[in-house]
């Protein structure tokens, strides 16, 4: 009996203006424009766009999209649990944890014996707010490369949280305001702070409230959170914030809102804080190197773990990753997808 060679994913996947198109299933993965059917890896805005007709994702991702977009989150929602397999057209589709944020998933696509995994964004470090990355062996692994340069080697999270508390002890008369992206980063920072045994209220900017509530509904214990309100009938006084920790979107840590706080120590939780000049430009007094993306070593280790003979790179430092893969005996190509952002600050 003649054995049929599985079709290479190049023959059934197209790069279109809308994004990654899966021909035998007639759907897109993380399309950047509204489409009839979208499979979405996670809830960040550069991957989960509004306006699609049908959306397949984990329940948590669908909930995040609903909080963010309301009726624009898609006309029909189809939730898929981790490990559950469905068939769309001629393609088997399943989702496995990506370890990026709550609900984030790798999309596993199988067609006539060939398997391709679209990772979305991912990290390999422990995160108390989401399911950890799971290795899925495949023929082609589609990766991000946000921190795909050898200079990006992130320190242990515990080291960065220790830095924060050293500063809190050193400046008890000051408020520490931490800039952290509203989806994923803010909740992770809070959880790592709680892991040290810190049980005081943590104060949050109003822009974080809805997503923190959503995380709580999904079983993530964030402890007592209070609004960082400095105006209105229920507002605290400036002095009330002395010695306290406040979490806010990165855009708020340098505007008039933060100047209402008492002599704040401005912190920013981001993988980009590895670059000192970037921290200096943002006026950050205490950079916290904490990322929801894989660093250089984690990216390279992941390629070894999934044991894919071919790597496709969606966005980030594509050239360095492609070069590394070829040096280590793997085929690689940059997909040059548009519309995806580096880690938000």
**pLDDT at residue 233, rounded to an integer:** 53
Q: Are residues 187 and 94 in the same domain?
A: no
Please check whether residue 1 lies inside any domain of the structure. no
Tell me what pLDDT residue 343 has: 56
Judgement on whether residues 64 and 145 belong to the same structural domain of the protein:
yes
Are 294 and 302 contacting, i.e. CB atoms less than 8 angstroms apart?
Answer: yes
Q: Is residue 317 situated within a structural domain?
A: yes
Q: For residue 260, what pLDDT is reported?
A: 85
Are 306 and 181 found together in one domain? no
Q: Are residues 117 and 25 part of one domain?
A: yes
The answer to whether residue 3 is domain-embedded is no
List the CATH number of the domain containing 237.
3.40.50
Residues 272 and 298 in one domain: no
User: Among the three residues 288, 309, 325, which one is the final residue of a domain in this structure?
Assistant: 288
Task: Give the whole-angstrom CA distance, residue 181 versus residue 178.
Answer: 10
**Segments forming the whole domain that contains residue 318:** 9-151+293-334
Residue 168's pLDDT is 97
From CA 108, how far away is CA 87, in angstroms rounded? 11
143-to-63, 107, 117, 316 alpha-carbon distances in Å:
25, 11, 9, 10
221 part of a folded domain: yes
Are residues 227 and 163 part of one domain?
yes
- Structural domain includes residue 61: yes
Other residues' Cβ atoms within 10 Å of the Cβ of residue 230: 18
Question: 256 lies in a domain?
Answer: yes
Q: How many domains does the chain have?
A: 2
- Residue 85 belongs to a domain with what CATH number? 3.60.15.10
pTM given for the model: 0.94
Q: Which residues contact 343 (CB under 8 A, 6 or more apart)?
A: 146, 147, 181, 270, 271, 272, 291, 292, 293
Residues 81 and 44 in one domain: yes
> Are 228 and 181 members of one domain?
yes
Q: Are residues 95 and 222 in the same domain?
A: no
- Could you tell me if 102 and 226 lie in one domain? no
Neighbours of 17 (CB within 10 A): 10
What does each C-alpha distance from 55 to 22, 59, 215, 216 come to in angstroms?
Answer: 15, 11, 21, 24
51 and 71 co-located in one domain: yes
Same domain, 145 and 235: no
User: pLDDT means per 10 residues in the chain (345 residues)?
Assistant: 82 95 98 97 96 98 97 96 98 98 98 97 97 98 96 97 98 96 98 97 97 98 91 71 96 86 94 88 92 97 98 92 96 85 56
């Amino acid at each position: 009996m003649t054995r049929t060679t599985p079709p290479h994913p190049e023959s059934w996947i197209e790069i279109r203006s809308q994004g990654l198109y899966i021909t035998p299933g007639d759907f897109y993965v993380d399309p950047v424009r509204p489409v009839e059917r979208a499979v979405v890896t996670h809830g960040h805005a550069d991957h989960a766009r509004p306006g699609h007709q049908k959306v397949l994702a984990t329940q948590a991702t669908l909930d995040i999209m609903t909080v963010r977009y309301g009726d624009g989150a898609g006309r029909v929602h189809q939730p898929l649990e981790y490990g559950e397999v469905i068939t769309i057209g001629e393609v088997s589709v399943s989702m496995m944890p990506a370890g990026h944020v709550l609900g984030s998933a790798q999309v596993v696509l199988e067609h006539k014996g060939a398997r391709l995994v679209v990772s979305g964004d991912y990290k390999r470090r422990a995160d108390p707010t989401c399911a950890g990355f799971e290795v899925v062996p495949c023929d082609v692994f589609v990766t991000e490369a946000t921190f795909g340069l050898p200079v990006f080697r992130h320190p242990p999270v515990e080291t960065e949280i220790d830095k924060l508390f050293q500063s809190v002890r050193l400046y008890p008369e000051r408020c520490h305001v931490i800039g952290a992206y509203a989806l994923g980063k803010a909740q992770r920072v809070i959880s790592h702070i709680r892991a040290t045994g810190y049980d005081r209220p943590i104060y949050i900017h109003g822009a974080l409230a809805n997503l923190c509530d959503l995380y709580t509904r999904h079983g993530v214990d964030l402890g007592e959170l209070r609004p960082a309100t400095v105006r209105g009938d229920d507002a605290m006084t400036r002095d009330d914030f002395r010695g306290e920790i406040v979490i806010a979107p990165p855009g708020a840590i340098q505007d008039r809102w933060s100047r209402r706080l008492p002599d704040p120590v401005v912190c920013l939780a981001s993988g980009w804080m590895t670059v000192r000049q970037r921290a200096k430009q943002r006026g950050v007094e205490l950079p916290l190197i904490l990322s929801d993306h894989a660093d250089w070593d984690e990216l390279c280790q992941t390629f070894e773990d999934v044991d894919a003979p071919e790597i496709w790179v969606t966005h980030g430092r594509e050239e360095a990753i492609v070069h590394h893969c070829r040096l280590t005996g793997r085929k690689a190509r940059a997909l040059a997808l548009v519309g995806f952002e580096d880690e938000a600050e």
